[in-house]
Structure 1
C-alpha cells in the first residue's frame, strides 16, 4: 500500500471516529434527580429561596446508599439539608399531594418511596425501567396533619444507591 493511500485511510478513519462513537451503545447513565414540586429543600437552595452551600448548584446530586433516612443521603457536602432549623419554607398542602421529580439523567428505577416520621406512606414501582425526565406521584397523607418533613427516595435498580429529597409541608 502506498504512503499516500495509507494517509488517506488514516484520515478517513479519524474523520469517522466521532460518528462511530455516537453510534455505540451508551454505558450506564449517571442518575440525578430531586423533588421540584412541592419544592424540596434542595430545590429551595437551587432557586435561592434559602441560602445554602454547594447543593445550590447541583440539587439533583443528593445520592447515597439505599436505606438511609437522611435528607442529605449521607453526603457530608450537603449536610445542611439535614438541618431542620435552616429556614426551609413550608408548603401548605391538602391531604393528597402530587410530588414532581425533575431528573437530569434517567436511570433504571426499582421504586420511589415516601416517608413521614420514618413511616412508609407510599411506594411506586419503577419496573426496573428508565422513567421519563419528569415523574409525578400522588401521595395520600390523610393520616397526618400539621407540619411534617416528607422524605422522598428514588431507588435505582442497577446500583446500590438512591436519591433523596426532603420537602417540608403543612398538611391542612
Structure 2
C-alpha cells in the first residue's frame, strides 16, 4: 500500500507541475493577445483555442488531485452522526462510487478522443482530440485516487479520516 501511495504522490506532483506550467503558458498567451491587439493592432486568433486547452489541462487533472486530497465539497453531517463502523462503510461506498464515476469518465472520454482524433483545430493545426485528453486523464486519475481511498478506508482501524491537503504539506 505504501508503494502505491508513493506512486500516486508522484502522479499528484506531476499533475501540479503540469498545471503550473499550463498556467504560465496561459498567462503568456493572454499577454501576447493583449500585446497583439493593442500594440500590433493584429489580434492573434490562435490564443483563444490555446487558452481553452491550457485551462482544460489545468482544471481537470487538478480536480482529480482534489479527490485524493479530499478538498472537494462534501456534506459530512449525516455520516458523522452515525456510529464509527457505519461511517467507515459509507466512506468506502462513496469512494467506490467516485472511482466508478472516474472510470466511466475515462472510458467515455477515450471514445470521444478516438472519434474526433482525425479532425483538426483550424487555428492550432492539432487534433481536436487534444481538447478531450485532459478529461480522459482526469477520469483515470480519479479512478486511481479513489482506489487508494477505498483501500485506506478499509485498512484504517478507526473511522474515516480527512487526509486533506494540509497533511500532504506536513509530510
TM bucket (normalised to shorter chain) is under 0.3
TM-score, normalising length: structure 2: 0.22
TM-score, normalising length: structure 1: 0.22
Structure number with larger C-alpha Rg: 1
